[in-house]
Structure 1
Amino acid sequence: MRRLRQIIAAAAVPLTLTVVLLVRAIAADAAVPGAAPKDLPTVIGNITAWLVGLLVSLATLFLTIGFIRMLLAGGDPGEVAKGKEALKNAALGYAGAILAPVLVKILQSFVGG
């Protein structure tokens, strides 16, 4: 029972963050129903927003998996290593989410947007 409480506590924050980000993204799209984007920068901005949301969601999933693996490892070095690897993947996902808008801006400057 104690281990179950630890798992729930470790998963609560990342899952809550994921739900909040997804609800926020859905609410932003629902703000103007049926409105078509008028120009290419708007379309690129929308794609970037979805990309960042997807990357943050996946990174949060890997963060949760990593913490759960480490909690349930029970001293097994192989499972601890797998948990650490999942945490590294989560860090890379968050870095990608932070850098995605920057990369889009750089690409826009190359193509003259």
Structure 2
Amino acid sequence: MTVENPTGPLGGHLDDDDYPAYTMGRAAEMLGTTQGFLRAIGEARLITPLRSEGGHRRYSRYQLRIAARARELVDQGTPIEAACRIIILEDQLEEAQRINAEYRRAAESADTTAAT
């Protein structure tokens, strides 16, 4: 069943990974970390939380997954700045691999078309 005009406090954002649904306190609680940790990874520009009308930080599920990865690295002894850089590089590598795979598919498709 598809809902065209969802109602309620989230207004259809329940499946939106980028919707800033979590306050800083709730995000820290969910991650089992401190609000200071979230501030630190924000200062390192790993994630940039959106701000509510009152100026409070709000985090999305996607941002919480990134923060969880940072916490995992920090818990293993990686300095927070290095953990943030590692995650950024991992993300860049994943994007480069995705683009490379697209180019390969396009090249294979062009080869197949040219051969017929």
- Give me the TM-score of the superposition, normalised by structure 2: 0.33
Q: Which has the higher helix share?
A: 1
Higher strand share: 2
* Greater RCO structure (CA 8 Å; 6+ sep): 1
Larger Rg: 2
